[in-house]
C-alpha cells in the first residue's frame, strides 16, 4: 500500500506533498510579507526577534536559516552582527528569490549565501553550523523526523537548533477564538489581499496537524538532540523550541 501523509486535513501520497506545498508558496509569494503582517497584526516580527535574542549567536558564527523565505530571520541576524556567515535555504525558488532581492536591497547580501534546498536533505557536510534556525517551516515538511536528523547532523557539537512554529494554545477559551479566527477570517484575508483563500485554509489546517509542544519536543529528542526546551508565545499559539546537540 502506498504511504500517505497529511497536507492540511487531506491525506496525500508522500511523493505528492512537496509539490503541493510548493504550489502554496508559489501562489502566495508576492503577498507573503503583507499577509504575515495582516494575519499576526505585526507580531511575527517580535516572535522572530525573540528567537534571535535567545539564540546566543555570536560574532564569527556560521548560521543556517532553513525555510528562509523572504529573509526576515537573516535580516535580524545581520543587523545585530558584523562578522557573520548566514546560509539562507528554501525549497521554493520564488520565495528564495524574494529573500535574495531583499538581501541586496537592504544591504545584507555580503553576509549571506542562498541555497535552494530541502530541509529534509541538507547539502552540507557534518558539523557545518554554529546555529540552525527555522521559522514557520517545519510544519510543511513531508517527513519532519528526517529534517530534524539532518539539522542535528549539520550542527557542530554544543550548538543549537531553534524552531519557531505555530503550536497549541494552552487556554481553551483562547483556543476557541483562535479556531474561529483561523477558519473564518484567515481565508477571507487571503481572498481579499492575495486572491487565494485555499492557501490560507491550508495554513489553518496545517497548524492543527502540527505536533503540539510536548510532542514536538519528544520528536526532537528522538532525532538525536541531547536536550530540548520550549517557550510559549501568545499563550502557545506560537512556540520556540530550543534544542542542543
Ligand atoms: C511560512 S514560510 C516561512 C518563511 C520565513 N521563515 C518566515 O518566517 O517568514 C515557509 C517557508 O518554508 C519553505 N519550505 C517548505 N517546505 C520546505 C522544505 N522541505 N525545505 C525547505 N524549505 C521549505 C517554503 O517554501 C516557505 O518559503
Domains of the chain: 4-244 (3.40.50.150)
Residues 213-237: tens digit of each pLDDT:
999 999 999 999 999 999 999 999 9
Report CA(137)–ligand 1 centroid distance (Å).
4
Report CA(218)–ligand 1 centroid distance (Å).
22
Sheet of strand 62-66: strand arrangement: 112-116, 85-90, 62-66, 129-135, 155-166, 238-244, 227-233
Pocket (CB within 6 angstroms of ligand 1) = 21, 25, 66-69, 72-73, 90-92, 95, 118-120, 135-137, 140-141
pTM score, whole prediction: 0.96
59 φ/ψ angles, rounded to the nearest 5 degrees: -55, 140
* 61 appears as a binding residue in the annotation: no
- pLDDT beyond 70 at 1: no
Compute the average pLDDT of residues 196-223: 94
Q: Please identify which residue in the block is written with the cell numbers 528562509.
A: 68
Residues 116-174: tens digit of each pLDDT:
999 999 999 999 999 999 999 999 999 999 999 999 999 999 999 999 999 999 999 99
CA separation for the pair 22, 5 (Å, rounded): 15
Assess contact for 185 and 114: CB atoms under 8 A.
no
* 112 appears as a binding residue in the annotation: no
Amino acid at each position: 500500500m502506498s504511504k500517505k501523509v497529511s497536507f492540511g486535513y487531506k491525506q496525500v501520497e508522500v511523493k505528492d506533498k512537496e509539490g503541493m506545498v510548493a504550489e502554496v508558496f508559489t501562489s502566495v509569494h508576492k503577498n507573503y510579507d503583507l499577509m504575515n503582517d495582516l494575519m499576526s497584526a505585526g507580531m511575527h516580527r517580535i516572535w522572530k526577534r525573540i528567537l534571535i535574542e535567545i539564540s546566543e549567536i555570536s560574532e564569527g558564527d556560521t548560521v543556517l536559516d532553513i525555510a528562509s523565505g523572504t529573509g526576515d530571520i537573516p535580516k535580524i541576524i545581520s543587523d545585530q552582527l558584523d562578522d557573520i556567515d548566514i546560509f539562507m535555504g528554501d525549497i521554493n525558488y520564488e520565495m528564495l528569490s524574494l529573500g535574495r532581492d531583499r538581501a541586496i536591497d537592504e544591504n545584507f547580501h555580503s553576509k549571506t549565501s542562498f541555497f535552494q534546498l530541502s530541509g529534509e536533505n541538507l547539502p552540507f557536510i557534518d558539523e557545518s553550523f554554529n546555529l540552525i534556525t527555522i521559522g514557520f517551516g517545519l510544519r510543511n515538511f513531508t517527513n519532519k523526523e528526517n529534517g530534524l536528523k539532518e539539522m542535528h547532523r549539520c550542527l557542530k557539537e554544543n550548538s543549537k537548533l531553534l524552531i519557531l512554529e505555530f503550536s497549541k494554545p494552552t487556554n481553551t477559551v483562547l483556543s476557541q477564538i483562535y479556531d474561529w479566527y483561523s477558519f473564518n477570517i484567515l481565508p477571507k484575508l487571503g481572498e481579499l489581499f492575495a486572491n487565494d483563500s485555499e492557501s490560507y485554509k491550508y495554513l489553518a489546517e496545517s497548524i492543527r496537524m502540527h505536533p503540539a509542544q510536548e510532542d514536538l519536543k519528544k520528536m526532537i529528542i528522538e532525532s538525536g538532540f541531547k536536550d530540548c526546551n520550549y517557550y510559549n508565545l501568545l499563550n502557545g499559539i506560537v512556540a520556540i523550541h530550543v534544542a542542543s546537540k
